[in-house]
């Protein structure tokens, strides 16, 4: 998978050279290209922003540098086009489902906005020749898109075959597979500062362990994400009458 990231702070994305994503890049599973948007400015001050039409606080990112950056990265007459991801507070939610979808793409490009956002015409221009997704990583406000790109790239890269050591663990994670939060995990020592590992996990009885883990997942989901459990409750009530969640 090729990844292009355009930002006025490309150094912010240096974290992509570290850990799992860094290994994926070094092993050739990811081909990461970072770009400084200011390389596509032509004035002495390398200007990328201007005041918003219609008034309002803050500044808006000018369309010209973005248009030239997109044309340089993915020429209109090129053989293929990337899928363009634009982080924004006004975007569709970034979910595990979308992460899986993006992991199947051969080429992703990320446009990291700053200030109050990118001139809306840039997404329209890009959509003339590539798929554009305006995406939000959560209901809180950041100062720019770089953090969101780090989140999304990590979530996507770990789904690529060969990137994580144990692909089986992907099936048991929160937000994938059964839609429940994952169960608590433990390792040695069996007793630590007055806290013991639950006996069942030391029993070697895999049936009981699986049952305990499922119960823990349901309990955690009910406590922390009842919204997820509502979907599960619907499934259970359909299958088991009005019993709801066991």
Ligand X SMILES: CN1CCN(Cc2ccc(Cn3ccc4ccc(-c5n[nH]c(N)c5C#N)cc43)cc2)CC1
Q: Which residues bind ligand X (CB under 6 A)?
A: 56, 87-89, 91, 113-117, 136-138, 140-145, 148
Residue 213: CB minimum distance to ligand X, A:
32
Residue 52: CB minimum distance to ligand X, A:
7
The residue with tokens 């595990």 is 96
Distance between CA atoms of 186 and 21, rounded to whole angstroms? 26
Sign of CA dihedral 2, 134, 100, 171: positive
Residue 141: CB minimum distance to ligand X, A:
5
Which residue lies nearer to ligand X by CB, 6 or 218?
6
Which residue lies nearer to ligand X by CB, 54 or 165?
54
Which residue lies nearer to ligand X by CB, 53 or 140?
140
Residues 131/80, Cβ–Cβ less than 8 Å: no
Residue 117: CB minimum distance to ligand X, A:
5
Q: 31 has which bridge partners?
A: 2
Q: Which phi and psi angles does 18 have, rounded to 5°?
A: -105, 155
Which residue lies nearer to ligand X by CB, 85 or 228?
85
Q: 110 has which bridge partners?
A: 5, 85
Residue 60: CB minimum distance to ligand X, A:
8
Which residue lies nearer to ligand X by CB, 90 or 191?
90
Residue 93: CB minimum distance to ligand X, A:
9
Which residue lies nearer to ligand X by CB, 112 or 201?
112
Residues 88/135, Cβ–Cβ less than 8 Å: yes
* Strand spans (E) along 15-115: 31-36, 49-50, 60-61, 83-93, 107-111
* Strand spans (E) along the chain: 2-7, 31-36, 49-50, 60-61, 83-93, 107-111, 132-136, 191-192, 195-196
């Amino acid at each position: 998978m090729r990844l292009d990231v355009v930002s006025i702070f490309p150094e912010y994305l240096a974290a992509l050279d570290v850990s799992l994503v860094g290994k994926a890049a070094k092993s050739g599973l990811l081909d990461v290209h970072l770009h400084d948007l200011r390389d596509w400015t032509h004035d002495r001050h390398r200007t990328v922003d201007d005041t918003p039409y219609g008034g309002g606080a803050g500044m808006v990112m000018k369309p010209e540098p973005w248009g030239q950056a997109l044309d340089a990265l993915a020429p209109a007459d090129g053989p293929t086009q990337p899928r363009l991801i634009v982080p924004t507070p006004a975007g569709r939610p970034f979910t595990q489902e979308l992460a899986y979808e993006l992991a199947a793409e051969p080429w992703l490009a990320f446009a990291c906005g700053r200030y109050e956002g990118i001139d809306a015409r840039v997404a329209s221009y890009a959509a003339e020749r590539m798929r554009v997704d305006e995406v939000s990583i959560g209901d809180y406000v950041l100062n720019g898109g770089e953090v969101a790109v780090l989140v999304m790239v990590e979530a996507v890269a770990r789904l690529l075959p060969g990137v994580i050591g144990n692909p089986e663990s992907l099936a048991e994670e929160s937000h994938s597979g059964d839609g429940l939060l994952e169960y608590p995990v433990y390792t040695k020592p069996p007793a630590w500062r007055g806290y013991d590992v639950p006996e069942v996990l030391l029993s070697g009885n895999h049936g009981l362990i699986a049952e305990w883990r499922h119960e823990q997942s349901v309990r955690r989901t009910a406590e922390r994400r009842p919204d997820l459990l509502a979907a599960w409750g619907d499934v259970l009530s359909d299958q088991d009458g009005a019993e709801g969640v066991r």
